[in-house]
Amino acid sequence: MKKIMMAFATLALAVVSAAPRVYHVTLSDPAWAGTTELKRGEYKVEIQGDKAVFKSGKTVVEVPAKMQENERNFDATSVRINKDRKLEEIEFGGSKTRLVFPTGMPTGE
């Protein structure tokens, strides 16, 4: 019986760790994510492997991104946008997760 319970617990842990991480972020100004301009507003951000998926209403935008773990939890969610209005980084408050976007990404201009 212990072996069955241990196998079930291991399987459940594998399923949970494979699920995409989902966070929420508010953009107070428009910003470029890859070749798409994200309007200001609320977005759900799913981290799926080496990409971030931004969702708001019918808008769905996928962009390359790298997830990094900090040593401590971030106090608040913060969004870093460069002078060209390109997303550079998002730190998710209450977690150790930072999402970094590749530099030199083209804009839709």
Count CA atoms within 13 Å of residue 102 on its CB side: 12
Determine the length of the chain.
Answer: 109
pLDDT at 19: 65
> pLDDT confidence of 6, banded at 50, 70, 90?
low
13-50 per-position pLDDT tens digit: 444 455 678 999 999 999 999 899 999 999 999 999 99
DSSP state of 86: B
- For residue range 57-102, list pLDDT tens digits in order: 999 999 999 999 999 999 999 999 999 999 999 999 999 999 999 8
Is the separation of the CB atoms in 88 and 103 below 8 Å?
yes
Q: In the prediction, which pLDDT does 102 show?
A: 87
Domains of the chain: which residue ranges? 21-100
* Alpha-helical segments (H) within 19-100: none
